[in-house]
Amino acid sequence: MNYRKINGKIIFITGGVLSSLGKGIFSASLASIFKERKLKVNMMKFDPYLNVDPGTISPIEHGEVFVTRDGGETDLDIGHYERFINQNLTKNSSISSGKIYSNLIEDERKGKYLGKTVQIIPNVIDKIIELVLKNLNGYDLLVVEIGGTVGDIESIPYFETIRQLQFQRENVINIHIGFIPFLKINKEYKSKPFQHSVKQLHSLGVFPNFLVTRSEEKISSTIIDKISANCSVHKDYIFELENVDSVYQIPQKLVDEKIDQKIADILNLNLKYSPIKNYQLIDKLIKDQKIGEIKIVIVGKYHNLKDSYLSIIESLRIISIYQKISLKIELFDAKSLNVNDLKNFSGIIIAGGFGIEGTSGKISAIKYARENNIPLLGICFGMQLLILEFAKNIAKLNVYHEELNPNKNNFIIHLLKDQDLKKLGGTMRLGEYNCKLIDNTLAKRIYKKSMIKERHRHRYEFNNKYKKELEQKGLLFSGINPENNLVEIVEYKNNDFYIGVQFHPEFNTTLYKLDPLFESFINAAYQYEKKRKNN
């Protein structure tokens, strides 16, 4: 058993009954509270799947891939963490079982274990503990979310890690979240599935310090008493987390229930207690009367799961809260798009994606937005299609996108140098790169600076040999990567708001830091909507 002394405090968050309970939101909310209480806080997540990272998993299956500044392709919950705690995390914040096992096997092949048998205990557990302590180093508190649910066979090593570390009770606690289903036919909530999930935890040697019930609405004190009696947790340490109007109200709700004080008592944390003005401001803005309404459509190919575009949606939501605008968002499937359905929207976003599927629908949406002067934002692959549509329909060029038509020539969008399509995982242009903004452009007016740094995730780039021909037709290349002379931003000067970016600005918005491009897009959509209503 690993008895290495822990210098700092660790909170493990686990889940039961079913997935998608909101463990990531809860973890992020909790961490944000302790950061507001003046602790130095870090966060990380373990995912039990055997992919080395989520970079090769379809967004329809697992939601968006969130890219960290240092180029990590991470779980979407890392995006929640950054948005709530207003802090940039790293690729070490998102660890999968696949990454742990691949590193372990690589070490074994190099002879690191000197002929010893490599096993789950102690070797895998030691590796997990090593990663936890690495993320704790230099911080007062580390919040660790365990993906999946208790009972999953893949998750057992993580629960064993908690069991071993919980021997240092003054430094390590576990908070377990479980779902309380509502039976409509009986009109009552049922706590038995939750109780069984806690008993599964007990069978693995993990005894939670706190329980959190997730439900549609508030549950009765009788159910709380029942859970307390059957799960060996005092009712004062059981918290309710029913659905709220906005997830950004959850931190204040947890503060109202004094969760931070109760955790501080167990972990002996020294907190600064005072009303958190940021939470009060956000709660007030959410409830304030709105100055108007806009409807934004996201045109993409992964419409089956809204988490595929989670950071785009949350950026729009956060900024609309601050701007006191009522926001409606719809996802349109590019594969079956009817452009006439776009006429009632205030702004159009062409989302990123990979592969040929849905391309014609996205190009039709771009053409419709350009011809009708509807605010248009193209992101990553969306920017590339803005260029392709312009080149074909305005400049009348016979050109192609290499990913979409690899057997053609005349590629206006071509593969990056040194890209090996035989190895897809972690080989793209990833992470933060410089972008120099050109004077007298919309981009320069939006960012109000000469140089910005933005996060990337792509394989294909604009072919600069077509730059002059497109400029002559009115396309502006307003952002350039100075190190490699790569196009980062394009815009069309004939439209009020028509802009495409090779990077992912949606990863920048947090609760306390708004991305300028999304701010400008929402402003443009609001002005467009006002103008349309006045005509």
Sign of CA dihedral 194, 198, 200, 201: positive
Counting other chains too, the contacts that 415-424 makes at CB distance below 8 Å and 24 or more residues apart are 415/459, 415/460, 415/461, 416/458, 416/459, 416/460, 416/461, 419/459, 421/459, 424/55, 424/56
**Is 380 among the residues known to form the active site?**
yes
For residue 65, what are its two tokens?
């891939």
Rounded Cα distance between 205 and 159, Å, is 8
Q: Are residues 504 and 67 in contact, defined by beta-carbon separation less than 8 angstroms? A: yes
Q: Which of 380, 401, 435, 461 is catalytic?
A: 380
For residue 432, what are its two tokens?
């933060």
For the chain, first and last CA: distance in Å? 73
**Is 432 among the residues known to form the active site?**
no
User: Which residues lie closer than 8 Å to 387 by C-beta, 6 or more apart?
Assistant: 412, 413, 462, 470, 475, 490, 500
Rounded Cα distance between 493 and 442, Å, is 8
Q: Are residues 269 and 241 in contact, defined by beta-carbon separation less than 8 angstroms? A: no
Between the alpha carbon of residue 529 and those of residues 210, 344, 436, 526, the distances in Å are 48, 9, 32, 5
Backbone torsions φ then ψ of 183, nearest 5 degrees: -95, 110
Q: Which residue carries 């709105």 as its tokens? A: 290
Residue type, 415: L
Backbone torsions φ then ψ of 140, nearest 5 degrees: -80, -35
For the stretch 524-535, what's the b/e string if a residue is b when 16 or more beta carbons lie within 10 angstroms of its beta carbon?
bbbbbbeeeeee
| Mode of pairing for the β-strands spanning 411-415 and 460-462 | antiparallel
Please report how many Cα atoms fall inside a 13 Å half-sphere around the Cα of residue 192, on the Cβ side.
3
Q: Are residues 138 and 7 in contact, defined by beta-carbon separation less than 8 angstroms? A: no
**Is 506 among the residues known to form the active site?**
yes
Q: Which of 80, 414, 458, 504 is catalytic?
A: 504
Active site residues: 380, 504, 506
